[in-house]
Amino acid sequence: MNVALRRPEMTVADFLDWENGQEDRWEFDGFQPVAMVGGTVAHNVIVSNLVLALGRRLRPPCRVHVEGVKLRLAHSVRYPDVMVVCGPLRPKATDITDPVVVIEVLSPGTFRTDRIEKNREYAAHPSIQRYILLEQDAIAAEVYARDGERWVRSTVTGDGVLALPEIGIEMPLAEAYAGLDPDPPTG
């Protein structure tokens, strides 16, 4: 069915109420709950490396948050792998609404959602200045950055540097893959 013709089965508020009673984690795609499944060891290593690398470089008030904290958007709720927030800290909050950088590590089961649906949602969310998609099997990042009203795509591979000027950080992309032996990108 064409997504444009679908009607939401629940609202964000309905989802948040429903999710509170669930044992497992769920995302809300704007129409219905979507179960979150476990990831690979490579996925976990990349996320852990990112948290350490960003955490060492970030300066207050910016902080890194991981996949256990939800991102509440206008019409959906997501659990990004990594987010950087530079606003006030709300220690008892269970959701974030104002990340500056969002990072997803691509998985075979979610790469289409990450590249298409989430990309569209994040581009429409004004606080998000940079959205990064990391491959698991190659040292490669697809980067989307806000340039005025435009969402500009670039890639970083191999020995490249991942620049995050919104939070004053540059880091070698390979640092995210430390401990893994991913293939260098081809072509």
Condensed to tens digits (0 to 9), the pLDDT of residues 115-172 reads 999 999 999 999 999 999 999 999 999 999 999 989 999 999 999 999 999 999 999 9
Query: What is the average per-residue pLDDT within 13-39?
Result: 82
Q: Which pLDDT value is given to residue 7?
A: 54
Q: What domains lie within the chain, and their CATH numbers?
A: 38-177 (3.90.1570.10)
Q: Which pLDDT value is given to residue 2?
A: 45
Q: Provide, rounded to the nearest whole percent, the portion of the chain with pLDDT above 70.
A: 92
Q: Which pLDDT value is given to residue 12?
A: 86
Helix H, strand E, coil C: the string for the chain is CCHHHCCCCCCHHHHHHHHCCCCCCEEECCCCEEECCCCCHHHHHHHHHHHHHHHHHCCCCCEEEECCCEEECCCCEECCCEEEECCCCCCCCCEECCEEEEEEECCCCCHHHHHHHHHHHHHHCCCCCEEEEECCCECEEEEEEEECCEEEEEEEECCCEEEEHHHCEEEEHHHHHCCCCCECCCC
Condensed to tens digits (0 to 9), the pLDDT of residues 33-63 reads 888 776 789 999 999 999 999 999 999 999 9
Condensed to tens digits (0 to 9), the pLDDT of residues 57-95 reads 999 999 999 978 999 999 999 999 999 999 988 888 889
